[in-house]
């Protein structure tokens, strides 16, 4: 108990405590008033949902069965405060039956894998992850196969869908 309160009555002490409490509550309110909106503002991008979009890539005839082809394309995407033409790369692999579309982002930490045609493998330059030509992880650190994008063939054109 503070010394200067010793000779005062209990009402005075509780009044002092009460005022201290109110100051504390106001201060907590002030902190909340700035920290709450601040966190919401900074975390706003968490609420953005991506939509999938179909993109026409190329003529079906330009890829032969057994072939793996690197395809670059660009899309107009919203990147924060501006719309940009963003470039993307995918690998198309055609087997006898169908065409699959493999995303080049390594499933380990997102470096871009290269296709080594002589070995029929995708190899990640960062940590040495190896995937077969269907994107299945074969060795190194990657925990799962390369991501695939849905493919459809309409009127001789190959389309893929991707989330942006």
Partner 1 sequence: MSQKTYKPKDAPTLSPEVKVDEPREAVSSEERLQIERPSLRDWMDLRLGWYGFVRKNLDEPMPAGVGWWQTLGNLLMTLLVFQFITGFALAMYYSPSPDSAHASVKHLTYEVGLGSFIRGLHSWGSTVIVIAVVLHMLRVFFWGSYKKPRELTWVVGVIIFQVILGFSFTGYLLPWDQKAYWATVVGTRIAATIPVVGHALLVFIRGGEEVGALTLTRFYSFHVMLLPASLILFTFLHLYLVRRHHIAGPVTPAKGAPVPFYPNQLFKDAIVLLFGVGLLIYLAVALPPGLEAIADPTGTDFSPRPEWYFLGLYELLKVMPSGWEVVATVIIPTGITIGMFALPWLDRSKSRHPAKRQWIIMSGFAAILLIGLMTLKGILETPPEHKKSEATLAGSSDIPKAEATQLESLGE
The answer to whether 58 contacts partner 1 (rule: CB under 8 A) is yes
Question: Which CB atom, from 18 or from 109, has the smaller least distance to partner 1?
Answer: 109
From residue 70 to residue 99, the character string flagging contacts with partner 1 as x (rule: CB under 8 A) and all else as - is xxxxxxx--xxxx-xxxxxx----------
Asked if residue 101 lies in contact with residue 149, where contact means CB atoms within 8 angstroms, the answer is yes
Distance between CA atoms of 144 and 140, rounded to whole angstroms? 11
Please report how close the Cβ of residue 9 comes to partner 1 at its closest, in angstroms. 28
- Burial environment of residue 104 by CB neighbours within 10 A (0 to 12, 13 to 18, 19 or more): buried
Asked if residue 104 lies in contact with residue 93, where contact means CB atoms within 8 angstroms, the answer is no
The answer to whether 152 contacts partner 1 (rule: CB under 8 A) is no
Residues whose CB falls within 8 Å of the CB of residue 96, separated by 6 or more in sequence, listed in order? 65
Structure tokens at 154: 């309409």
Residues whose CB falls within 8 Å of the CB of residue 59, separated by 6 or more in sequence, listed in order? 156, 157, 158
Quick one: which of 32, 37, 128, 150 contacts partner 1 (CB under 8 A)?
128
Count of residues that interact with partner 1, criterion CB under 8 A? 53
Of the listed pieces 5-13, 28-36, 93-101, 136-144, which binds partner 1 according to CB under 8 A?
136-144
The answer to whether 48 contacts partner 1 (rule: CB under 8 A) is yes
Asked if residue 57 lies in contact with residue 159, where contact means CB atoms within 8 angstroms, the answer is yes
The answer to whether 3 contacts partner 1 (rule: CB under 8 A) is no
Residues that bind partner 1 in the complex, under the rule CB under 8 A: 42-43, 45-46, 48, 50-51, 53, 55-58, 62, 68-76, 79-82, 84-89, 108-112, 114-118, 123, 125-128, 137, 140-143, 163
């Amino acid at each position: 108990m503070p010394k200067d309160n010793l000779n005062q009555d209990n009402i005075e002490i509780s009044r002092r405590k009460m005022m201290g409490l109110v100051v504390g509550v106001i201060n907590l309110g002030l902190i909340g008033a700035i920290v709450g909106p601040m966190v919401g503002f900074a975390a706003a991008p968490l609420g953005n949902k991506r939509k999938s979009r179909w993109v026409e890539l190329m003529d079906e005839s330009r890829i032969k069965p057994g072939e793996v082809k690197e395809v670059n394309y660009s899309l107009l995407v919203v990147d924060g405060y501006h719309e940009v033409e963003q470039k993307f790369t995918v690998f198309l692999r055609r087997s006898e039956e169908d065409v699959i579309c493999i995303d080049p982002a390594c499933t380990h930490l997102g470096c871009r894998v290269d296709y080594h045609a002589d070995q029929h493998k995708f190899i990640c330059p960062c940590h040495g992850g190896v995937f077969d030509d269907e994107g299945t992880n074969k060795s190194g650190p990657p925990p799962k196969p390369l991501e695939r994008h849905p493919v459809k063939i309409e009127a001789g054109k190959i389309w893929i869908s991707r989330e942006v």
